[in-house]
Amino acid sequence: MNVILYLGIILITGLVAGKVVNHLKLPAVTGYLLIGLLLGPSVFNIISEETITVLTPINSIALSIIAFSIGGALSLNEIKKCGKSVMVITVTQAMGAYLFVALTLHCLLGVELHSALLFGAISTATAPAATIMVLREYKAKGPLTSNLLAVVALDDAFCLIAFGITMALAKILAGKVSGGVAAMIAAPLWELFGSIILGIVFGVVLLLLATRLKEKPDKLVLALGMVFLQAGLAEVLHLSALLAGMTMGCVAVNLLPHQAEKMFRLVSTVDTPIYVLFFVLAGANLHLGLLAKVGLVGVAYIVSRVLGKIGGATFGALISNAPAVVRKYLGLGLVPQAGVAIGLTLLVQQGMPEIAGMVTTVILGSVVVYEIIGPFFAKLAIVKAGEAHIAGN
C-alpha cells in the first residue's frame, strides 16, 4: 500500500471539498466529512477499510492537538468572565440529554431500564473536534464562543463520571453485579483523575522546558513532542488522552499565559493538514449501512439527545443569567458526537455484552448523523450570535 499516495489524495480532495462547501455557505469541515464518506467503503471504496486501519494513528495525533488547543482556551480569566454559567450549563446540558434520552427510550419505547440508562449516559458525550474546527474557521469570538469552548471541554469529564456510575447501576438492575459496585465505579474514576494528574504533570514540564528555549522552531518541536508523548502515555495507562491533553493545555495557559500562548500560535501554524486528514478519514469511517439498522430506537436516540442538549443548555443559561446569545444558541454547538461515545460502547461490550449489539449499532449509526449535521448547527449558532467572521461580510 502506497501510504504517501493516499495521504496526497486525502489532502487534495479534502481541500477541494472544503472550498466547494464554503461556496454553499457551509463550514469546510462538512466538506471534509462528506468527501471522506464518498471516498470510503460506504460509497466508492477508494479509501478501503485496510487503508483506514493503517492511517488510524492520524486520529490520535489530531485529537491530541485538538485537546491541547481546547485546554489552551480554558484560561481562568476567560472562564471568570463567563461567570458561574459555564459550570451550570455543563451540568444541565449533560443531564438534559441523559434524562431525555433515558425517559424517551424507557417510557415511550419500552427499552429496559438498565439499557435506557446506559444510552442516557453515553448521550452526555459531545465531540469537540467538529465544533472547534468551525469556531476556528470563522474566527469566532464573543460570549457564546467563550462559553461553548468551556462547556465542550468540561463535558467529557462529566460524561466519564456519569457513565461510571450508570454502568454500576445498570449491572445492579440487570442482576449482574460482580467485583462489587466500588470496583465498577473505581475504573472510570481512575480514568478521570489519572488523566487530570497526567495532564498537570506534562503541562508543568512543558512550561519548564519551554522557558529554556529561545527559537520558535524549537518551541514548536517541544510542544508537539510533549503533546504526542502525553497522548501516547495516556493510551498505555488506559487513561483519556482527550482529557489529559485538555488539562495539559489548561495548566500551561494558566501558569504562564504569555509563554503558552506563543506555543499555541506555533502549533496552529502547522495543524491544518492534520485536521484535514483527520476529518476526511472520519468521514470515510462513517458507514451509511448502519442508518438502515438503527430502527425506531436509533431515531428516538438521535432526536431526544439533540432536544435534551439544547433544552438543558437553554435551561442552564437561564437559571445562571447567561447572556442572551448563550441562552439562545449554545445548545446548537453541542450536537456532534463521536470518539468518546464510541469508546463507551466498547466498555458496554466488555461489561454487558448481551445488550452491546443494540447499543453499538445505535451509537455508531447516530454518529453518522451527528457528525454530518453537527458542523452546520455549530456554524448556525455563531452566525446567529453575530460572532462569526465570514470573508466578504
pLDDT value of position 179: 56
Spatial separation of the C-alpha atoms in residues 112 and 68, rounded to whole Å: 39
Read off the pLDDT of residues 41-67 as tens digits, 9 standing for 90 and up: 889 999 998 998 899 888 888 888 888
DSSP state of 105: I
Q: What is the mean pLDDT of residues 105-132?
A: 89
31 within 8 A of 20, measured Cβ to Cβ: yes
pLDDT of amino acid 178: 57
Whole-angstrom distance, CA of residue 252 vs CA of residue 305 = 34
User: What pLDDT score does 96 carry?
Assistant: 95
* Predicted confidence band of residue 315 (pLDDT cuts 50, 70, 90): very high
Q: Identify the structural domains of the chain with CATH numbers, from first to last.
A: 3-384 (1.20.1530.20)
- Residues 176-188, mean pLDDT to the nearest whole number: 62
Contact 309, 44 (CB under 8 A): no
| Locus of grid cell 489530531 | 62
The yes-or-no verdict on residue 191 having pLDDT over 80 is no
State mean pLDDT over 359-370. Answer: 84
Q: How confident is the model at residue 183 (pLDDT cuts 50, 70, 90)?
A: low
Summarised one tens digit per residue, pLDDT across range 323-348 is: 899 999 999 999 988 767 877 887 78
Burial class (CB in 10 A: 0-12, 13-18, 19+), 145: buried
Q: How many residues does the chain have?
A: 393
Q: How far apart are CA 220 and CA 270, in angstroms?
A: 9
C-alpha cell recorded at residue 122:
453515553
Rounded CA-CA distance 291/287 in Å is 8
Q: Which of 102-106, 276-280, 302-306 has the lowest mean pLDDT?
A: 276-280
- Is the pLDDT at 303 greater than 90? The verdict is yes
Looking at residue 393, its pLDDT comes to 46
- The average pLDDT across 202-222 equals 92
Between CA 34 and CA 14 the distance in angstroms is: 9
Residue of 89, 223, 224 whose CA lies nearest to 148: 89
208 CB contacts (<8 Å, ≥6 apart)? Answer: none
Give the residue-averaged pLDDT of 79-89. Answer: 80
Separation of alpha carbons 368 and 385, rounded Å: 27
CA distance 60 to 244: 13
Running DSSP on this structure, what letter comes out for residue 287?
-
- Rounded to whole angstroms, how far apart are CA atoms 363 and 343? 10
- 195 neighbors 243 (Cβ within 8 angstroms): yes
Instruction: State the helix-helix crossing angle for 143-173 and 113-123, rounded to 10 degrees.
Output: 160
pLDDT digits (tens, 9 = 90+) for 148-170: 988 887 887 788 778 878 887 88
- CA quadruple 187, 254, 227, 121: dihedral sign: positive
